[in-house]
Amino acid sequence: MAYEDREVQTTQTTREVPVEEAREEVREERPVTPRDDHRMNVAERVIWLVAGVIMGLLALRFLLRLLGADPNNGFADFIYTISHPFAAPFFGLFSYNADLGVGRFEFEALIAILVYALVAWLFAKVATIGKR
């Protein structure tokens, strides 16, 4: 559907005029564009983009660790190296085994994904304070 074919919505505001002026209503109409209806602002989008990249790397790390991917493989090594700083704060939660290449259910990566999602949600809410 082309932009010109869309139905334009309008908002109406009314205000009362003092009694001396015979109480007439004044209407102000302004078209509502699709951009006005879009709740996410640029800061919120950037926050979710960064969080999505971090959570995606951690999800890949989790899958590679679960399947016991060989750390000598270039792709596995890249994912392990890039995701390590984001997963490292959570290694002390459970007995962490640093042996890469051995299949292991890495709870730390799942908890890291959850924590980063909550932090991103909090930052996104703070970034949109005052919006609708």
Q: Which residues pair with 62 in a beta bridge?
A: none
Q: What one-letter code names the amino acid at 14?
A: T
Distance linking the first and last C-alpha atoms of the chain: 27
In the prediction, which pLDDT does 61 show?
Answer: 95
How do residues 98-123 score in pLDDT, each as one tens digit? 777 678 888 899 999 999 999 999 99
In the prediction, which pLDDT does 39 show?
Answer: 55
16 pLDDT higher than 90: no
Residues in the chain: 132
Q: Is 131 in contact with 94 (CB distance < 8 Å)?
A: no
The secondary element (H helix, E strand) that includes residue 35 is helix 34-37
Give the residue-averaged pLDDT of 73-87.
95
